[in-house]
Amino acid sequence: MKIFKKAALVILTSAVIVNLSSCKKNAVDDQQENQLSLQNKQSALASGTSLENLIAYKKSDHQITAGFYRTWRDRVVSGNANDPVMTELPDSLDVVIVFTNYTPSDSPYWTKLKDVYIPYLHARGTKVIITGSLTMPAGAGQNAAGYAAAAKKIMDETVNKYGLDGFDIDIEHNVTGAELTEKTGIYTALSAYLGPKSGTGKLLTYDTNQDGNTPFFKNVCGMIDYVWLQAYGSGSSTLQNTWNTFSPNIPSKKFVPGFSFYEENGYPGNYWDDVLYPQNGTGRAYDYARWQPTGGSKKGGVVSYAIDRDAALTSPHDNTIVHPNFKVTKDLIKIMNP
């Protein structure tokens, strides 16, 4: 089975926020954001879509759509007028996964995330989670108490601090030996707060470029809500074989294959061509939305990396910063839930 490489930069530690002093800090113009909010409300009313209907849709049995949102491409961080803000994400998006780098701890983004973005998205029934790692606090023992301390640190310093709806763990290597014991211990402790065993309704997800037959996945499979599969660059014909490795341990509704939007400056070393010409509705992203596992049960949905680049690009390798219109995301939602 092909091992997929993630189209991303360095994942944050359990502290989540990477402090890079060289990053430029810029604030969104409040008047512009208020105008955007008004336009969104007017659009919702014009289409006859109420917030109540949106929330009811999110709670219904359907194939979800999720997206990794890169914080350094948020306009609050970049200061680029062509970059998005999180209030522009499609109302029908089920889960947005905050993917952070190049965003200092004192960036105004974090206040905006807590005070503006998350309340706005919650009003539309959209869950907001964040990608992080499983690391032990300094001085903690390799025992149940230490694992509990690690889980509490994640909750206190990240999930509860910002009012998030869950935590996504990124696993891109084979976890073995002492690391397997440690990560399994932390994951198990975290499952008391998040995931299906917690009873809280908050999400605990597993983000990977690996198959489902690894020792770590087998240890934690009963504690997860979704597997975000980094299937970037692979044809939809490969999804069945990959799903077969997960199917002994999770239902298909938890299996969510993922594609990547074209990252600016990604060519030639970090690109996937999963979306060719957005205007034409072609590419692997559309194939993933239509794909279903054999046997009659539906997949969980689709997840995209760099949803902030869901823009009207003029060519597959367009490096220009184009303001996103989220056409592809909206197309995929319609394909899976007509």
What pLDDT is stored for residue 48 in this prediction? 42
pLDDT of residue 5: 38
pLDDT (0 to 100) of residue 40: 54
Q: Nearest to residue 207, comparing CAs of 133, 263, 157, 269?
A: 133
* 108 secondary structure, DSSP code: H
Does the CA dihedral 162-91-230-191 come out positive or negative? positive
Both ends of the chain: CA-CA distance in Å?
32
Asked whether the beta carbons of 142 and 182 are under 8 A apart, the reply is yes
What averages of pLDDT result for each successive group of 10 residues across the chain (338 residues)? 38 36 37 50 50 94 98 97 97 98 95 98 98 96 97 98 98 97 98 98 98 98 98 96 97 98 79 77 92 94 97 82 94 96
Nearest to 170 by CA among 6, 338, 4: 6
Q: How many CB atoms lie within 10 A of CB 143?
A: 10
pLDDT of residue 272: 85
**pLDDT score for 175:** 97
Give strand ranges (E) for the chain. 64-70, 95-99, 127-132, 166-171, 203-208, 226-230, 255-260, 301-305
Report pLDDT for 312.
Answer: 85
Structural domains for the chain = 30-336 (3.20.20.80)
Q: Looking at residue 4, what is its pLDDT?
A: 36
Residue 72 backbone dihedrals phi, psi, to 5 degrees? -70, -10
| Per-residue model confidence (pLDDT) at position 276 | 79
| 179 among known catalytic residues | no
pLDDT on residue 310: 94
What pLDDT was estimated at residue 14? Answer: 37
- Select which of 172, 179, 263, 264 is catalytic: 172
